[in-house]
Amino acid sequence: MTKIGAAIVLLALLAAVVGPTLVPFDPTDQELALRLEGPSAHHWFGLDELGRDILARVLSGARISLIVGLVVVGVSSSLGMLLGSIAGYFGGVIDELVSRLMDILLAFPGLLLAIAMVAVLGPSLTNVILALSLIGWVGYARLVRGQVLRARELEFVQAARALGASTPRILARHIMPTALPAVTVQATLGMGGAILAEAALSFLGLGVQPPTPSWGTMLSYGRTHMLEAPHLTIFPGLAIAVLVLGFNFLGDGLRDALDPQTPGTRRE
């Protein structure tokens, strides 16, 4: 499963980087006379409501999805690791503050806070990334805080402290490496989550705005023509499902490989 996941992710990366150059159509070019035409030898995935090639738009949409995934995971994991390690290592008031902030953010289910934030900030790709990053750090912080709490009592950390190592050095060189495997797993699964979240927000009209091709926006417009042209819905949805499945396979495999003690995840 891990290999299948890695292959899917690699293919998606390739599709995002070179895919649009392989298709002889621009994702914004319109052939209005052929609008809503089904898949054919010329247009493999068919054409959308404005006569644009769906394959070209799906490939361009892969770029948006992967960019959102990478930026959101990058920002939220960095912020989460920083705040989680500080809270776990220093404890006291700092830990209380970070923990209470995490409690409040966790009191909002899933996407709800992102929907609320984008609703007030205005729909755009930047605001989607901002909202998902500001919410996403909590998962990493909680994970890292737990790891740091455990690691700070370990002998090699106490030895480093006794030898006079500075706090940043202890955190960066001795404690953080113990949390990295778990963070890697969470980041891989988080890529799938961020891609799904961006697509959901775009589907609701709160994310990427037309004419930029996003899988969620394509699905949203496809729904209007669901009866006469189901291919508008089928292909972008398949793209989301396959890519997210790829990240989930990869994340699951990494978890088994890096952390065999995780309950409930190890294959028996």
Partner 1 sequence: MGRFLARRLLLTIPVLLGVATLVFSLIHLIPGDPAQAMLGEAAPQADVVELRHRLGLDRPLIEQYGVFLKGLVTGDLGTSLRTGQPVTDQIVERMPATFELAAAAMIVAIAFAMPLGIVAAVRRGTVADHAAMTISLAGVSVPNFWLGPMLAIIFAVELGWLPVSGRGTWAHLVLPAISLGAALAAILARMTRATMLEELREQYVQAARARGVSKSRAVLRHAFRNSLIPVVTLLGLQFGAVLTGAVITETIFAWPGIGRLLIQSIGFRDYPLVQGCILLIALTYVGVNLATDMVYGVLDPRIRYE
Contacting positions for partner 1 (CB under 8 A): 1, 100-101, 103-104, 107-113, 115-117, 119-122, 192, 196, 199-200, 203-206, 216, 219, 222-223, 226-227, 230, 233-234, 236-238, 240-242, 244-245, 248-249, 252, 263-265, 267-268
**Shortest Å, Cβ 118 to partner 1:** 9
Which bin fits 51, alpha (ψ -120 to 50), beta or left (φ > 0)? Answer: left
**Shortest Å, Cβ 103 to partner 1:** 5
Give the Cα-Cα-Cα angle 143, 147, 152 (nearest 5 degrees).
150
Q: Phi, psi at residue 47, to the nearest 5°?
A: -120, 155
* Other CB atoms within 10 A of residue 210 CB: 14
Closest to partner 1 by CB, 18 vs 106, is 106
**Shortest Å, Cβ 104 to partner 1:** 3
Closest to partner 1 by CB, 79 vs 204, is 204
Q: What gap in Å lies between CA 199 and CA 212, rounded to an integer?
A: 13
Closest to partner 1 by CB, 116 vs 154, is 116
Closest to partner 1 by CB, 34 vs 101, is 101
**Shortest Å, Cβ 114 to partner 1:** 9
**Shortest Å, Cβ 174 to partner 1:** 29
**Shortest Å, Cβ 6 to partner 1:** 15
54, 167 contact by CB (below 8 A): no
State the DSSP code for 2. H
**Shortest Å, Cβ 139 to partner 1:** 14
Q: What gap in Å lies between CA 73 and CA 81, rounded to an integer?
A: 11
Closest to partner 1 by CB, 33 vs 227, is 227
128, 200 contact by CB (below 8 A): no
State the DSSP code for 209. P
Closest to partner 1 by CB, 41 vs 107, is 107
Q: What gap in Å lies between CA 166 and CA 209, rounded to an integer?
A: 48
Closest to partner 1 by CB, 86 vs 240, is 240
Report how far apart, in Å, the C-alpha atoms of 109 and of each of 80, 81, 114 are: 18, 22, 10
Would you tell me the crossing angle of helices 176-203 and 215-224 to the nearest 10 degrees? Answer: 30
